[in-house]
Amino acid sequence: QSALTQPHSVSGSPGQSVTISCTGTGSDVGGYNYVAWYQQHPGKAPKLMIYDVSKRPSGVPDRFSGSKSGNTASLTISGLQAEDEADYHCCSYAGSYTWVFGGGTKLTVL
């Protein structure tokens, strides 16, 4: 069970769109539609932004969207705002009732 692969960092200017990728294998991301994305500000707990690949919990802005193609899931943030600057983590079901996370991506809003 290896960690999912995320880019170390991404950046974008206010109003732009950014996409963060999360690459796994056919045993996790590619094998199931149970990918979630979390936003984590420094010193805070992760906050659920997307679950089951593309579902948004109540209260999460529709600027946040999720998708998946093959073994790679993606989180897209449109209309970037300063408060979106944070770390983003992906999570995937990995079979046999186990879960695996990515290494996290630092989003910088320029």
Q: Check binding of 108 to another protein (CB under 8 A).
A: no
Quote the CA–CA distance of 44 and 88 in Å, as a whole number: 12
Report the chain's C-alpha Rg in angstroms: 13
Comparing CB distances to another protein, the nearer of 13 and 58 is 58
Minimum distance, C-beta of residue 91 to another protein, in the bound complex (Å): 4
Q: Is 70 in the site for another protein (CB under 8 A)?
A: no
Position among 51, 67, 72, 78 found at the interface with another protein (CB under 8 A): 51
Q: How far is the CB of 18 from another protein (least distance, A)?
A: 19
Out of 63, 72, 85, 103, which residue is the one contacting another protein (CB under 8 A)?
103
Q: Which residue type sits at 14? A: P
